[in-house]
């Protein structure tokens, strides 16, 4: 983090006297390190988040570098506009290659405190249309902030997770439309299509992604405490800034163990599974159902072209394994499970062949679990398999896994010489333990997991 530049005493007096600014200079307001003095817990949590990591993520840097080379620079600031947005708005980067310079200031990398808390408008649904307030007044959820000498503060619905506008702030950056119209990443559009975006059941991104792991009432943050270490600050609801979901740091970063725990905890209860086994002449029919029960959008979501979610299915009888799909050995790409269940989006180039990189994309084929459109009418996707080799199972097991980014995507980047091969080993294979299920009933019966 950059050093704080001392504020000349005269200027400080002038600012305080005019009552229109805090003691933090504009540069300091941009620097997360300056917030730690009074908001240490927010700083620690943010530091360990993917928002802080977004401009250091080696997979991002490798993809962006390859994109600049392969498009002769036409990609420009497209990627870095979301991964280091403050640096773009301040004109400090033009294509994001600057981020790889060891002297590039750390405080401009990632989605920083100031970028969210100075947001004045988000007029658009994708590609980060967010405009910042030219004044350095930090916006937050409180309409009665305690006066602090450090900075001015004011309420904004963009930063109040009980308001729809807050979903616009997150969503307009979590949704990507390419120049050719392909709607590549759709988290916001998906959310807009679920029951969570309706007035009566409004549940914003922050409602689900800004609470700590813990008992159900932790969701409501019923643990009020001061949110700034400063005299006279009342106890208020504290909001978790780790915002973990599926990606984890793949190079040394802050508190990786905690990040991994947060991810596993959220992921655990996301999908419910069901297995039905029916007799067939000379064999059996297996029906597997998967249902997204807690994500406020599709599952997987966002970079679903890079995600790999697959089921390992195995039917056995007393003699051993009869039938198996989706066994993916550690370190092997999950590409050969097409005969089983693989959830991901598929990208194709102009010639219809599969591609992995944004700038090669001509079309997208979606293959994910939809979000909940109406309570009570949840959609279960069903896959049917038949086996008529004469044996009937006594047990069928299902285990569901996700890799945040497919090893086939990484191999593509390693193969082109853009990514350090050691990163491959750092990408975890996570199990959705709440979806794990064993059927061992009579033929013609079903079993289901109780994900929640």
- In whole angstroms, how close is the CB of 123 to ligand HEC at the nearest point? 13
Q: Which is nearer to ligand HEC, 2 or 127 (CB)?
A: 127
The burial class, CB within 10 Å (0-12 / 13-18 / 19+), for 253 is middle
Q: How far apart are CA 377 and CA 375, in angstroms?
A: 5
Report the nearest approach of ligand HEC to the CB of residue 204 (Å): 6
* Spatial separation of the C-alpha atoms in residues 54 and 109, rounded to whole Å: 7
Q: Which is nearer to ligand HEC, 151 or 314 (CB)?
A: 151
Instruction: Report d(CA 94, CA 96) in Å as an integer.
Output: 6
Closest approach, Cβ 172 to ligand HEC, in A, equals 7
Please tell me the distance from the alpha carbon of residue 178 to that of residue 363, in angstroms, as a whole number: 10
Residue 170 or residue 286: which is nearer to ligand HEC going by CB?
170
- Specify the residue, 49 or 274, whose C-beta has the smaller distance to ligand HEC: 49
- Minimal distance in Å, beta carbon 211 to ligand HEC? 10
CB of 421 to ligand HEC, least distance (A): 16
Residue 161 CB, nearest approach to ligand HEC (Å): 3
- Taking the alpha carbons at both ends of the chain, their separation in whole angstroms is 41
Is 29 or 334 the residue whose CB approaches ligand HEC more closely?
29
Collect all residues with Cβ–Cβ distance below 8 Å to 157 and sequence separation of at least 6.
163, 164, 165, 166
Q: How far is the CB of 339 from ligand HEC (least distance, A)?
A: 23
Q: How far is the CB of 443 from ligand HEC (least distance, A)?
A: 34
What tokens were used for 252? 């040394």
**C-alpha atoms less than 13 angstroms from C-alpha of 109 in its C-beta half-sphere:** 25
Q: How far is the CB of 287 from ligand HEC (least distance, A)?
A: 24
Q: Which is nearer to ligand HEC, 165 or 316 (CB)?
A: 165
Rounded Cα gap, residues 171 and 122, in angstroms:
9
Q: How far apart are CA 268 and CA 288, in angstroms?
A: 18
* Nearer to ligand HEC (CB atom), residue 208 or residue 277: 208
Closer to ligand HEC by CB, 113 or 276: give it.
113
| Plot region of 77 (φ>0 → left; ψ -120 to 50 → alpha; else → beta) | alpha
Burial of 196 (0-12, 13-18, 19+ CB in 10 A): buried
Whose CA is closest to 398, among 289, 279, 306, 314? 314
Residue pair 371/191 in contact (Cβ under 8 Å)? The answer is yes
Work out how close the CB of 203 gets to ligand HEC at its nearest, in angstroms, rounded to a whole number.
4
Are 264 and 256 a contacting pair, CB within 8 Å? no
Please compute, for residue 89, the number of CA atoms within 13 A of its CA located in the half-sphere on the CB side. Answer: 23
Our measurement of the distance from residue 221's CA atom to the centroid of its chain's CA atoms, rounded to an integer in Å, reads: 21
Residue with smaller CB distance to ligand HEC, 315 or 419? 419
CB 369 within 8 A of CB 272: no
* Cis peptide bond upstream of 184, omega within 30: no
Whichever of 277 and 341 has its CB closer to ligand HEC, that residue is: 341
Nearest approach in angstroms of CB 221 to ligand HEC is 8
Contacts (Cβ under 8 Å, ≥6 apart) of 20: 152
With contact defined as beta carbons under 8 Å apart, do 57 and 65 qualify?
Answer: no
**Please, which residue, 396 or 419, has the CB nearer to ligand HEC?**
419
Structure-token pair, residue 415: 């193969």
């Amino acid at each position: 983090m950059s050093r704080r530049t001392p504020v000349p005493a005269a200027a400080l007096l002038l600012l305080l006297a005019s009552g229109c600014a805090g003691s933090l200079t504009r540069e300091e307001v941009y620097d997360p390190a300056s917030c730690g003095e009074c908001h240490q817990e927010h700083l620690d949590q943010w530091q360990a988040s993917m928002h802080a990591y977004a401009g250091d993520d080696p997979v991002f840097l490798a993809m962006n570098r390859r994109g600049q080379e392969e498009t002769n620079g036409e990609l420009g600031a497209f990627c870095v506009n979301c991964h280091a947005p403050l640096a773009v708005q301040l004109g400090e980067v033009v294509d994001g290659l600057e981020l790889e310079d060891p002297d590039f200031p750390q405080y401009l990398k990632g989605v920083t405190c100031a970028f969210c808390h100075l947001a004045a408008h988000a007029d658009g649904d994708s590609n980060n249309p967010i405009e910042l307030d030219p004044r350095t007044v930090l916006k937050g959820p409180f309409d009665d902030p305690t006066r602090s000498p450090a900075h001015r503060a004011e309420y904004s619905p963009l930063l109040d997770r009980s308001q729809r506008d807050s979903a616009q702030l997150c969503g307009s950056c979590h949704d990507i439309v390419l120049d050719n119209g392909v709607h590549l990443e759709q988290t916001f559009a998906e959310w807009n299509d679920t029951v969570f975006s309706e007035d009566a059941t409004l549940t914003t991104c922050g409602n689900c992604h800004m609470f700590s792991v813990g008992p159900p009432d932790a969701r409501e943050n019923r643990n009020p405490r001061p949110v700034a270490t400063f005299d006279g600050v009342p106890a208020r609801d504290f909001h978790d800034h780790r915002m973990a979901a599926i990606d984890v740091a793949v190079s040394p970063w802050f508190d990786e163990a905690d990040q991994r725990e947060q991810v596993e905890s959220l992921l655990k209860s996301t999908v419910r599974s069901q297995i039905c086994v029916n007799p067939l002449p000379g064999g059996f029919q297996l029906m597997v159902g998967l249902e997204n029960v807690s994500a406020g959008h599709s599952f997987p979501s966002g970079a679903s072209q890079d995600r790999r979610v697959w089921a390992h299915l195995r039917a056995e009888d007393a003699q051993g394994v009869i039938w198996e799909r989706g066994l993916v050995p550690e370190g092997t790409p999950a590409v050969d499970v097409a005969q089983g269940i693989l959830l991901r989006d598929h990208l194709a180039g102009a010639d219809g062949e599969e591609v992995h990189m944004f700038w090669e994309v001509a079309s997208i084929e979606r293959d994910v679990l939809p979000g909940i459109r109406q309570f009570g009418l949840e959609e279960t996707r069903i896959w049917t398999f038949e086996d008529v080799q004469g044996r009937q199972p006594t047990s069928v097991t299902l285990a569901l896994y996700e890799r945040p980014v497919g090893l086939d995507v990484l191999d593509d980047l390693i193969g082109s010489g853009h990514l350090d091969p050691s990163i491959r080993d750092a990408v975890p294979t996570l199990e959705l333990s709440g979806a794990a299920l064993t059927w061992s009933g009579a033929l013609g019966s079903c079993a289901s997991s109780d994900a929640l």
